[in-house]
């Protein structure tokens, strides 16, 4: 019986995680530089706002509300239910392509990404576009690092929660990175595309600014990387496959 193909040394994973951490740092700096120093959020959002109507034209449009909002949300819940079942099979050791540790990473990531984004919304105090003065609301537009006036009620719109339904799958790109790299790339592209599509749909309705969705995507990938670092500790770098010389003793 031929020996099982060993997994790549964890040292390569460490190097990859370091590169990803540096990339995420640069992306965070770019997002802050753009959205804290420009009016890009407001400029883009203005395309969807009708001053004569005093509201966002697509806010209650049936396609955006029933399909893009509630429909996609329910579809993500259903897919999450089935994916959870797949992970449970992996945790029980019934799937050769999904080892227990990988299954746990996928399960925790899928659940923690949307849950953590929902939790962050309770503390970031940022408002939805339809609550901002520029679009008929009551609150000033405030960047991520800005402070709200004391007499303004706190908002609960940042980061974008709806997009999290699509971005939750991004953790699978890390889980399958070594065993199925082509599928991992497809999942990464698909998850980002779905999450951004869901976020942009809500942006058109006045529920989120572009920055809300982009920060949700950043958070989903950053959290997935942090979980990967936790599930695959550096100590595993010493668990290198035995060489032929070593196995002869």
Domain boundaries, given as residue ranges, for the chain: 10-233
Look over the chain and give the mean of its residue pLDDT values, rounded to a whole number.
Answer: 89
2-25 residues labelled b (16+ CB within 10 A) or e (exposed): eeeeeeeebeebbebbeebeeebe
Q: List, for residues 105-160, the tens digit of each pLDDT value.
A: 999 999 999 999 999 999 988 999 999 999 999 999 998 888 888 889 889 999 99
pLDDT at 232: 84
Report the pLDDT value the prediction gives residue 207, as an integer from 0 to 100.
Answer: 97
Measured distance CA(107)–CA(110) in Å, rounded: 5
Longest CA–CA span in the chain (Å) reads 84
Q: pLDDT tens digits for 175-202?
A: 999 889 999 999 999 999 999 999 999 9
The yes-or-no verdict on residue 20 having pLDDT over 90 is: yes
Res 235 pLDDT > 60: no
Q: Which of 210, 176, 177 is nearest to 195 (CA)?
A: 210
For the question of whether the overall pTM of this predicted structure is more than 0.85, the answer is yes
At 59-68, the pLDDT tens digits run: 999 999 999 9
Query: Taking a C-beta distance cutoff of 8 angstroms, is the pair 110, 104 a contact?
Result: no
pLDDT in the model for residue 159? 96
Burial of 129 (0-12, 13-18, 19+ CB in 10 A): buried
CA proximity to 202, closest of 100, 211, 9: 211
Token digits of residue 237: 């770098």
Q: How far apart are CA 67 and CA 75, in angstroms?
A: 10
pLDDT digits (tens, 9 = 90+) for 26-53: 999 999 999 999 999 999 999 999 999 9
Instruction: Compute the average pLDDT of residues 6-28.
Output: 78
pLDDT on residue 78: 95
């Amino acid at each position: 019986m031929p020996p099982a193909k060993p997994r790549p040394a964890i040292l390569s994973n460490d190097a990859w995680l370091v590169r990803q951490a540096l990339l995420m740092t640069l992306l965070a700096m770019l997002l802050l530089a753009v959205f804290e120093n420009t009016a890009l959020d407001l400029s883009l959002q203005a395309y969807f706002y009708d001053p004569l109507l005093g509201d966002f034209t697509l806010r209650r449009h049936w396609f955006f509300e029933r399909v893009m909002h509630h429909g996609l949300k329910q579809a993500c819940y259903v897919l999450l239910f089935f994916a959870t079942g797949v992970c449970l099979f992996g945790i029980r050791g019934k799937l050769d392509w999904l080892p227990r540790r990988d299954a746990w990473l996928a399960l925790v990531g899928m659940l923690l990404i949307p849950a953590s984004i929902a939790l962050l919304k309770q503390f970031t105090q940022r408002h939805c576009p339809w609550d901002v003065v520029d679009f008929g609301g009551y609150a000033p537009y405030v960047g991520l690092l800005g402070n709200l006036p004391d007499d303004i009620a706190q908002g609960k719109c940042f980061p974008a929660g709806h997009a999290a339904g699509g971005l939750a799958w991004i953790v699978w790109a890390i889980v399958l990175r070594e065993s199925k790299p082509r599928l991992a790339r497809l999942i990464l592209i698909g998850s980002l595309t779905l999450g951004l599509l869901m976020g942009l749909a809500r942006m058109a309705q006045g529920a989120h600014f572009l920055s809300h969705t982009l920060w949700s995507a950043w958070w989903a990938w950053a959290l997935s990387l942090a979980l990967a670092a936790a599930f695959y500790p550096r100590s595993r770098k010493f668990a290198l496959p035995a060489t032929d010389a070593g196995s002869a003793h």
